[in-house]
Amino acid sequence: MGEVSTATFTLEPIPTHPVRSVLLYIAMEAEAVGVADALGLSAPTLLHAHSSARRRDGVHQGIRIQLVTAGGDRLLAVDRIGTIPAALAVTHALDAHPFDLIINTGTAGSFLSRGAAIGDLLFARTVQFHDCRVPLPKFDALSRAFTQLSCNDAELHAITALLPARLGGFSTGSSFDATPEELAHFSREETLAKEMELGAIAIVARERSVPLIALKSVTDFVDGHEPNHEAFLKNLAFASEQLAIAMPKLLAWLSDPLRRREQFA
């Protein structure tokens, strides 16, 4: 296996002071309901008058939480999954309120060849786009947007031990399936999670200088034999339950800087 590439961009670090406000982005309502219940958040309302995105608000572990979903398409009545709805919703939320941290959570595909199992928790070290192929100098790096997320090595070790979760590189694209070129890319980069939002949110976070972390749960295998969309629907409820269990643990850790410092000692 070849050497894994180095990230081009780096996000703001997690603040050393107590995290007091979190923007929690989840693409689909089915992924969000259990997390919202676990955190005691409000019923959903529109995030913005000119957007389909929805918000749920509350306080958990002393942290002001705003959970944002992309909402449903008015014509087709399905969740507005993907990069563009994610970037728009996060941008609208940041326009309205400042936040100490963005957390992107939800579900993702992973790899049997990497030892993944359905329902595994995956925590992102980096993210990049796997379906942006622009063979022009510097434009290729810009379009791939390979980004180091906000945790340092000690924080990554502490969080993945706490949840527990597996740590690795995430890759964002707009399709459930993968081309042969993309499969080769995943192998070369030792990708842990294939998903559809994080890369776009990372661009917004970089432009707004807001820290970003990401936690996903496995619904399907990119290198498995079952069609990805069938596995996703079959395993969505179970994977979402794992996120609802994990999120209060993660927020409790973020709210306590003394605990974080003790773990790094």
Active site members? 31, 220
Reported as type and span, the H/E element at residue 55 is: strand 54-60
Rounded distance, CA 80 to CA 115, Å? Answer: 30
Rounded to the nearest 10 degrees, how much is the dihedral formed by the CA atoms of 191, 195, 200, 206? -50
Rounded distance, CA 115 to CA 178, Å? Answer: 19
Q: Tokens 């790899």 identify what position?
A: 111
Cβ proximity of 70 and 61 under 8 Å: no
Number of H helices, E strands in the chain: 8, 11
Contacts of 50 (CB under 8 A, 6+ apart): none
Rounded distance, CA 110 to CA 168, Å? Answer: 11
For residue 165, list its beta bridge partners.
Answer: none
| Residue 167, SS3 per DSSP | strand
